[in-house]
Amino acid sequence: MRRLLTHFYVFLLLAIIGLGWSLEQVWRDYQPEIPPWFSALTQSVSSLTAQAESPDQLSEQIGLAVVVVGDGRVGWPEAEQRRLQQGEALPVFSADQSLYLYLKKDDVVWRIGPIADGTESTNYWYHLLFFVLLALLTTLWIRPLARDLHSLESHLNTFATDQSQTLQLPKRSLIQGLANSFNRMRNQIQHLLGLQRELTSAVSHDLRTPLARMKFILEMPDSPEVREALSENVEEMESLVETLLDYARLEGQEELLELSAVNLTELCENLAEKLEQLPGPPISLHLPAQCVVACDGHYLERAIQNLVQNARRHALAKVAVHIEPSPKHIQIHVDDDGSGIADHEKERVLQPFVRLETSRSRQSGGVGLGLTIVARIVEWHHGRIDITRSPLGGSRFTMTLPRRTQ
């Protein structure tokens, strides 16, 4: 919007200056010619002026207004001053095209006239021409703006029924920034609608399974085993709901990142100590003595934790965490010795609610959001995540983060 206002004021200023200068040149070229009878009148007035003792006396004799306007030394070019000194009469047209006669009497200049009235309507025509041309130029400036605004309005009117169309405007459009904001909003809405569909699909599948088991258990005679099974299903439902809500809360949190200097070595050591208390293969650490990077420690710890938990879930006996620092980047590798991931599945596994194990059983764990959360957190930190073959034989998840400083 600031660009639009600046462009408008600059255009208006240049239009006024350009039109004013052009019409002034035309005005100067349009100066009327001196009437043929003016030469005889000049000679007659010059002789009467030489005989007159005062401006009033001359005015009575010729029937024209006569006033003293100065001594002839200020406001006159040198050529006109010489002519006045030589006693010549100078004809001058005023702004309203009235004709005046200037003569020097003694040490002062007398102005006689107006001898012939100018046509004041000419001024009005020039003023009218100026405003008409200004209106025409303004219309030419507004027309593409109105066209682009109409395109924006049309897209907004059809947005409710069709979110796939992208608003395309010329690169020099004055509302290009507004169009870009609209396209970003459209992409965000499409993303949220996709998230809603994904959540609905996941809820319909993952929550119905424990609900069906709970209904079946309730039909059985009451016993400690039944109550224990019912409690397990309730815990599973709570975990599923918490995971779904947690993922939904992550949307739009990028602007809330709190970057600080975090020692990744210390973070990984503390995380491994905490996860070692849970069932699963041991975690082998290969870390530098110290590795400090500017990041959000809370979210980055969560990303590494999700990768380690995923590796322990699919590993046979080994899980390893490596940190490789470089001058520009920090790479965090999480390896396992499991069966690995097929090449055609590597991109899909990072998408929401995607699980390579389609049964979604409790033993295989999760609802397919852990790796998606990792990808989102890495994206927030302007990094990337890659999936390759691990030296241990399974999969290697590599987070590459820029080595920024606070």
Percent with pLDDT over 90 in the chain: 20
Beta strand spans in 106-159 (E): 108-116
Domain positions in the chain are 38-117, 184-250, 258-402
Q: Which helix (H) or strand (E) holds 27?
A: helix 2-29
CATH no. for 258-402: 3.30.565.10
| More reliable by pLDDT, 86 or 267 | 267
β partners of residue 104: 109
What pTM did the predictor assign? 0.53
Q: For helices 297-314 and 264-275, give the axis angle rounded to 10 degrees.
A: 50
Inter-CA distances, 266 with 29, 271, 273, 323, 324, Å: 85, 9, 11, 12, 14
Inter-CA distances, 229 with 173, 204, 213, Å: 65, 21, 9
Check residue 157 and give its pLDDT. Answer: 78
- pLDDT tens-place string over residues 280-318: 899 999 999 999 999 989 889 989 999 999 999 889 999
> What is the average pLDDT value for the chain, to the nearest integer?
77
Inter-CA distances, 281 with 82, 112, 266, 286, 365, Å: 112, 114, 21, 16, 16
d(CA 58, CA 168): 77
Check residue 18 and give its pLDDT. Answer: 76
Check residue 132 and give its pLDDT. Answer: 78
d(CA 36, CA 106): 28
Cα 22 to the chain's mean position, in Å?
38
